Chains A and B, each alone.
Chain A
Amino acid sequence: MRRVLVTGLGAVSPFGAGVKAYWAGLAAGTCAIRPATLIETDGFRCGVAAEVPDGVGGSSRRSRADRLAFAAAREALEDAGLAAADHRDTALIVGAVGGGMLEAEAWHWTRRGRPVRGPARLGAVRSILPSAHAESLGHRLGLGGPRESIVTACSSGAASLAVAAELIAAGAVDVAVAGGADALTRICYMGFSALKLLDSAPCRPFDRDRKGMSIGEGAAFVVLEAAEHARARGARGYAELTGAAMTTDAHHVTAPHPEGDGMARAMRAALAQGRVVPGDVGYVNAHGTATLQNDRIEAAALRAVFGEGRVLVSSTKSMIGHTMAAAGSLEALATVLALVHGLVPPTAQHEHTDPEVPFDCVPRVARETALAHAISNSFGFGGQNVTLLFRARP
């Protein structure tokens, strides 16, 4: 199997466009969860979300999620400095959930006599499906390799990296653009409201007094590349993706396995792929949604794999919310950047660690520390677990 390097990064986050803005926000511990403006929240308990600020760019005929995805994927490709000839066989693997639902909702809601924000166009339905992003990006970026849209709920963005890494490791392609994108949608917001999983204030992962999650939006893409291909063209690698493991709980459609069995299996499999032992890993970017159940079960799985207090654990969702299909890839970027900068992003709003979370959750302030290996956890509805293991550039 071939080694896989991360050679390009791109992000559009609630901190704005670009990787620089994203990392600056994370490193400063800034919370970007604010009163929601894109969707109607009247009649619901929660009125906050992490929205990408004005200036998303691109034609308003495209869905917001498409525009987020395009900006992030283009930044990653430009960052990698690939020649146009390389695009011909480059794979595009997109993690997606909501597709162009935000605009399709506006059309459907309006047709049903309940006008909402945003234009109501039948054309919006064209891009309603998750696959719409890959169709649009592949065409606009001229990517002619495998084109796949991966849906594993909230772990879709991470799963896209795992699938892309497998394509490269197996020799099917030399280069892949992989990541996830999602815009806020009414259905997502209302669904989590119906499940009573949203906090009315910005979320507080792993905190004793947490009340639930905050939703967000964004996009992040990476360029993954076979190590020999990157070396041959003199490309730098931000980090190496040494392990990418996916497991399924096969337990419940919304609740994780009560002992975190599937989560722990994913982490152990990623470590085994990367040929490292738990003690080698210095940082875990947790799924950390701030729901009562997820955080406790993830902590139990972390304890089973790493031992109590043996690794730094933080949740960047405390700053950018849960960005759904983008979460896994935005958090993979955060993990890579933590390795690059030797700085662990904090868990914002974290005051009192839940006694059932026996880890240093890096409260409120980023922590300088040298890191050799770090993992990013992503878990989704249906018990879809993904763990990505990154190694710092030597």
Chain B
Amino acid sequence: MTVRVAITGIGAVTLPATGGAAVLAHALAPPADGAGAALDPERIDRVLAELVEPGEARRLSRVSQLALVAGRLAIADAGLAADGALGLVIGTELGDLRSTIAFAEGYLARGASGLSPLLFPNTVMNTMASTAAIALTARELSLTIDAPGIAGEIAIARAAAFVAAGRIPAALAGGVDELDPAVAAVLAEARGGFAVRGEAAAFVVLESLAGAAARGARILGEVRAAATGALPASPYGVGRTSTSRVLARTLAHAGVGPGALRAVYTGTNGDGRRDAWEARVLAPVAAAPRIALARRFGQSSALGALKVAAAALDGPALVYGLARGGGEAALVIGG
């Protein structure tokens, strides 16, 4: 990377915790007894009711509300001014399929007169980014990255590259997915693979280290290297290759040997065949403790930012994700 990239803010809406770095530091720490406490599944709805303004609650779909609240928390956590000089890179796997189904149902129930022009924009997957950009006055580039399993990790890697190249001064990067039981059930039936799904939104704020230092920002960590790639596998399938050039390249670029890693934040999510494949790929860093945040937060595109946030609080650490189909992302995060 040409410009060093700092992590200066974290914001998340998750079932176990909602807030910035101070709140998440506690939530991201491994539970003393090795298991999370029982959580109320309606907690996120209460968070949204509390933190989303009434006008936004009327206009925005639920997944957009999730993204907006987490984005606001991250920006506030970073103490960043809303001056437009912000880019967005949002990862998602499922986008706003709930709105897509609702839009179609309008037609199926009432014909052409049942089509909602207000709902239609939500059927395009960038709806979370566009509504967040408006609310956060983010006028630099805005990208939505759709990927199975690792959209959040890819989004952070891509945003870090844009900051490193000097294309944007700061970026809000991470991911969001909501848990719609009907959508999840149909996809699981059609695709196979049964990860423990969750719903959450989580973002980190990335900016140049020099710029962050100049404005007196708190530095939570640094993205020391990031890369994405793909291992051979059929779509949504599990591959055989256990050697990852992305992993080797990322560690080499970061100048961090496997022995120096304090932790490896994996993608382990309860999908047995995928988890076993990832474990084989991560053999070169077997000495470092492996932490699987999906066990506590569920599988969603927010995991990337949660893993990066945890790594920043615990670095140097490796954040790794390997998806069915072979997509992979690796980031070395310095504390």
Contact = CB atoms under 8 A, between A and B. Distances in A.
Contacts of B120: 187, 190-192, 194-195
A170 interface: yes
Contacts of A130: 95, 125, 146
A122 B189 CA distance: 9
Given A109-B108, A151-B146, A253 B131 contact: yes
A153 B124 contact: yes
Interface in B131-162: 131, 133-134, 136-148, 154, 158, 161-162
Given A130-B125, A148-B154, A384-B130, A194 B117 contact: yes
Interface in A276-322: none
A163 interface: yes
B104 A187 contact: yes
Interface stretch (B230-238, B274-282, B291-299, B306-314): B230-238
A214 interface: no
A252 to B, nearest CB: 7
A124 B230 CA distance: 24
Interface in A86-131: 89, 92, 96-97, 105, 108-109, 112, 114, 122-131
A126 B142 contact: no
A135 B235 contact: yes
Contacts of B326: 138-139, 147
A149 B146 contact: yes
Contacts of B136: 250
Contact of B233 (A139, A191, A196, A380): A139
Contacts of A96: 146
A152 B228 CA distance: 20
B191 interface: yes
Contacts of A254: 121
A234 B93 CA distance: 40
A170 B164 contact: yes
A382 B161 contact: no
A170 B103 CA distance: 41
Interface string B99-110: 011011101100
B204 to A, nearest CB: 19
B224 to A, nearest CB: 15
A252 B134 contact: yes
A191 B230 contact: no
Interface string A236-271: 000000000011111111100000001001000000
Given A97-B124, A247-B140, A146 B228 contact: yes
Given A125-B187, A139-B325, A170 B142 contact: no
Given A123-B190, A166-B165, A383-B133, A193 B234 contact: no
Given A123-B190, A139-B326, A382-B126, A145 B139 contact: no
A89 B327 CA distance: 13
Given A129-B95, A129-B146, A139-B235, A151 B124 contact: yes
Interface residues of B, number: 70
Nearest to B161: A170
Given A172-B227, A248-B140, A148 B134 contact: no
A36 B101 CA distance: 24
Interface residues of A, number: 72
A381 B94 contact: no
Contact of A166 (B131, B142, B167): B167
Interface in A141-179: 142-153, 159, 163, 166-167, 169-170, 172
B186 interface: yes
B129 A382 contact: yes
A377 to B, nearest CB: 15
A125 B94 CA distance: 12
B123 A187 contact: yes
A151 B229 contact: no
B111 interface: yes
Among A159, A187, A196, residue most surrounded by chain B Cβ atoms (within 10 Å): A187
B332 to A, nearest CB: 15
Contacts of A136: 235
A62 to B, nearest CB: 10
B127 interface: yes
B288 interface: no
Given A139-B235, A150-B145, A194-B116, A125 B186 contact: yes
Contacts of A127: 235
A84 interface: no
A125 B186 CA distance: 8
Contacts of A167: 161
B115 A191 contact: yes
A147 B111 contact: no
B150 to A, nearest CB: 10
B84 interface: yes
Given A139-B233, A145-B229, A384-B130, 11 more contacts: A126-B191, A130-B125, A135-B148, A145-B230, A146-B228, A149-B147, A163-B143, A248-B138, A248-B139, A262-B139, A382-B133
24 contacts: A122-B186, A122-B189, A129-B93, A135-B235, A135-B236, A144-B230, A145-B229, A146-B228, A146-B229, A147-B147, A147-B228, A147-B229, A147-B327, A151-B126, A152-B143, A159-B143, A166-B167, A191-B115, A196-B117, A246-B140, A248-B88, A248-B142, A380-B126, A382-B130
Please give me the 7 A-B residue pairs with the lowest Cβ-Cβ distance, nearest first.
A382-B130, A191-B120, A246-B141, A194-B115, A135-B235, A125-B190, A248-B142
